[in-house]
Amino acid sequence: MRFRIKEHRTRLGWTQDHLAKASGLTKGYLSLLEHGKRDPSAEALRSLAAAFGVDVTEMIEPDSAEAQDAIDHLAVYMKLDPEDKVAVSRIARKMLPNGDP
């Protein structure tokens, strides 16, 4: 799965410094994300989407049917109220081996 961080940043004419200030993330972390060396956490993805003024699903470039499914699930999850998000996360973690995300 590819994340559209640099695409949104350059579309707005922003530097990594500007995005770091707008999102509350470090420039070093942004560089790792843009070069595909790290995947953003859910919180980082939300911070970036908020900084860009876009929905979090617009931050993800679907490169397969599996990625599109993940985007669709994320879109549903983002519409839940906070208590339901906690419940869904708790149930999903229980389904994973060792509870690892």
Structure token digits, residue 19: 């995005």
pLDDT of res. 14: 97
Cα angle, residue 72 at apex, residues 71 and 76 outer, rounded to 5°: 115
Contact 2, 61 (CB under 8 A): yes
Query: Considering the entire predicted model, what is its pTM?
Result: 0.67
pLDDT of res. 64: 65
Q: Alpha carbon 82 to chain centroid distance?
A: 17
- CA torsion sign, 58 to 101 to 93 to 62? positive
Rounded CA separation 98/76 (Å): 25
pLDDT of res. 101: 57
Going along the chain from its start, the domains and CATH numbers come out as: 2-99 (1.10.260.40)
Q: What is the pLDDT along the chain (101 residues), one digit of tens a residue?
A: 689 999 999 999 999 999 999 999 999 999 999 998 998 988 899 999 999 999 888 898 877 677 788 888 888 988 999 999 999 989 988 898 876 65
